[in-house]
Amino acid sequence: TPWNFQIGKAKDQIVVRKPATPDGELEVRVGGCEGERIAAIPLGKAGRGPGLGTVSGALPAREGAHDLCFSFTAKGLDPMPALDRVTLTTAGQ
């Protein structure tokens, strides 16, 4: 396997939120990983792996700067999805 995150015993401490769709979602929360969920973007085909996939979705407009937390919903930790890149753009661009 090309991915080896060496989680070890910490695996039991990872919180996995249950998916609302068969392939899971990329959740976006504002103000930290326990903050308000502002988006749940279905993974669709990208969630079926293996390999790279692309998902896109819209976030509600917010004034000011905010910390965002990106996490995946899943039925379990195997397979473990990962983000390669996140690109945020202004609507219409």
58 within some domain: no
Q: Does some domain include residue 45?
A: yes
CA trace torsion 43, 46, 51, 52 (10° rounding): -90
- Please give the mean pLDDT across all residues of the chain: 84
Q: Total structural domains in the chain?
A: 1
Given a contact cutoff of 8 angstroms between Cβ atoms, the answer to whether 47 and 89 are in contact is no
**Residue 78 resides in a domain:** no
83-88: average pLDDT: 84
Residue 4, in any domain of the structure: no
Q: pLDDT at position 51, please?
A: 75
93 pLDDT tier (thresholds 50, 70, 90): low
The answer as to whether 26 is a domain residue is yes
Is 2 a domain residue? no
Record the pTM.
0.79
